[in-house]
Homo-oligomer: A and B are copies of this chain.
């Protein structure tokens, strides 16, 4: 029932982009025992990945969303556009779950944790190769929590440029007046942005604001 890859090969060719040698070695070990999977190449930077894809496109790419030179979500949009047939599985740590929605929106077909079991990793590769979408159980569980608005209210507020700037200054131990001086604005304007921030983030003071911003990776 599985589609044949464009290369005509009988194997699922896999590439890995991750800057952690241990992760790559671990994955290499996992994949080496599989008759239907062939590890094509490994990359440890986004730049190397982009260069390599120009030469050879694998069937499935395991992509660390935190490469040293660029984040996965920034890479993904371009990759999907350029290589329609490439199936990307995001690879991440427990703590980066907030990226799940973004990555899926941008075209990732799978989402694995670096703590995933071997069997899960192999399943994911085969399912995604076959056209499916695979989320690690822990991820899908978390997604449901988020969707249900349990504690993160289910959405990531979109902050404007100025709001982000003000937020940075607030977190950097500055008062409204100080921020006004730094940004060459009236204190009123700064307070206005503060109000918007509190409203959008659904909190009532800057302590909770900063905490939530960090949780949502906005800071």
Residues of B within 8 A of A172 (CB): 208, 211
Nearest chain B CB to A167's CB is how many angstroms away?
9
Interface 1/0 per residue, A197-210 and B, CB below 8 Å: 00000011111111
Inter-chain CA distance A203–B22, complex, in Å, is 38
Residue of B nearest to A209 (CB): B207
Q: Which of B22, B30, B117, B211 contacts A210 (CB 8 A)?
A: B211
The listed residue with most B CB atoms (<10 A of its CB), out of A203, A207, A219, is A207
Sample of 20 more A-B contacts, CB < 8 Å, known A21-B26, A25-B118: A21-B115, A21-B117, A22-B23, A22-B30, A23-B26, A23-B114, A24-B26, A25-B25, A26-B26, A28-B29, A93-B93, A170-B207, A171-B208, A171-B211, A172-B211, A173-B204, A173-B207, A206-B207, A210-B210, A211-B219
Inter-chain CA distance A203–B170, complex, in Å, is 12
Interchain Cβ contacts under 8 Å between A and B, 23 examples: A19-B115, A20-B115, A21-B26, A21-B117, A21-B118, A22-B23, A22-B114, A22-B115, A23-B114, A24-B26, A25-B26, A25-B30, A26-B26, A171-B208, A171-B211, A173-B204, A173-B207, A173-B208, A206-B207, A207-B209, A207-B210, A210-B210, A211-B214
Interface 1/0 per residue, A170-207 and B, CB below 8 Å: 11110100000000000000000000000000011111
| Chain A contact residues, CB within 8 Å of chain B | 19-30, 93, 95, 114-118, 170-173, 175, 203-211, 214, 219
Residue of B nearest to A207 (CB): B206
